[in-house]
Amino acid sequence: MRTFRGGLLIGLAIATAIAVMAITYERYDTKTLKRTLRRDAVLCGVNAGVPGFSNSDEKGNWSGFDVDFCRAVAAAIFDDPAKVKFVPLESDERFKELQSRKVDILARNSTWSMSRETNYNLYFPAVAYYDGEGFMVRTSRKADSALDLGDTKICVQDSTTTKLNLADYFKANNLKYEEIKFGKLEDMLRAYDEAKCDVLTADVSHLYALRLRLTKPNESFILPDVISKEPLAPVVRQRDDDWMMIIKWTLYAMINAEELGVTSKNIDEAMKSKKPDVMRLVGTDGQYGEGLGLTKDWAARIVRHVGNYGEVYDRNIGSDSRLKIPRGLNQLWNAGGIMYAPPLR
């Protein structure tokens, strides 16, 4: 009897300890900002190498569109865009590593989809880049639209959604095409370069990078059509709403800054502006940063150190980069695109 009671007590004690630990772990997960401040660095999961989006040089300096987003978060929190630890992640491990807290943000060209949010308990706060499937063709073809691509040979990677989208699109538009499938990206690119197909299809952001690797990049171009939805977004864990808010509004601050004409070059002038919406953005009016657990000038810090959305776009993937991807869908909503941020108000 005594041994039974003793065993029960020990068992209870162990169970309680485990429960306490589990609760602490769970509760602790809503403290990402606190942990980030203590660590003095943002933990950011990135792709090991995608031209324009995320790359590191031989000295280990990271640069790119995705990389700059994490720098913007660091600028908002620490007023120092260098306080980021970049963790290169493979595509199959990225969500697991985010869940197991190896990183606190995933800025790794990940497509936002429903199952990724529900199955992995993740949250995609806002779209950073609207990607989608497009077509590269030779300039000699004189095509203006994807609808001009009937009766062509199209190079596509096998067992991808790209291939399925292609089939759907051509069927819906009553167009015939000959599919030439490849397992490897390299083989597909070589086949196109050797003119074994007339068209190459992939996500638009990839097409611009692939084009640069052709023997004669100037003799091919990318059609403006986008036939699928691949909204690329940063990712965070569910449960920590405060952290999610910081990530979401960092992106929205960058988009709003572009819309208001606030840039890294004129930020000092903007701090003196008397325009109400500029004043709210840079923190000379209201307490918007405090609402995020940050300082008044959180958004000004982002723009000063990293730039507004357009600056980051142009520098890494747009007109000032090698890729030169036109803004397209990623242009602001009032300038031909669909990039739209709720107001900072």
Chain residues binding other proteins by CB under 8 A are 144-145, 221, 223-226, 259-262, 266, 269-270, 273, 275, 278, 319, 324, 326, 328-329, 331, 335-338
Pinpoint the alpha helices (H) of 121-230: 161-172, 185-193, 204-211
Residue 211 or residue 237: which is nearer to other proteins going by CB?
Answer: 211
Residue 188 or residue 323: which is nearer to other proteins going by CB?
Answer: 323
Shortest reach from residue 67's CB to other proteins, in Å: 23
- Quote the CA–CA distance of 280 and 262 in Å, as a whole number: 12
Q: In terms of Cα–Cα distance, which of 244, 232, 236 is closest to 117?
A: 236
Helical axes 65-78 vs 241-260, angle rounded to 10°: 110
50: DSSP letter: B
Residue 45 or residue 318: which is nearer to other proteins going by CB?
Answer: 318
Residue 230 or residue 259: which is nearer to other proteins going by CB?
Answer: 259
- Quote the CA–CA distance of 10 and 21 in Å, as a whole number: 17
Shortest reach from residue 56's CB to other proteins, in Å: 27
User: What separation in angstroms does the CA of 325 have from each of 51, 87, 299?
Assistant: 12, 26, 26
Residue 286 or residue 337: which is nearer to other proteins going by CB?
Answer: 337
Shortest reach from residue 165's CB to other proteins, in Å: 17
Residue 55: other Cβ atoms inside 10 A: 18
The answer to whether 42 touches 77, Cβ cutoff 8 Å, is yes
- Quote the CA–CA distance of 342 and 345 in Å, as a whole number: 9
Residue 283 or residue 328: which is nearer to other proteins going by CB?
Answer: 328
Shortest reach from residue 137's CB to other proteins, in Å: 12
Shortest reach from residue 295's CB to other proteins, in Å: 21
Residue 10: other Cβ atoms inside 10 A: 10
Shortest reach from residue 127's CB to other proteins, in Å: 15
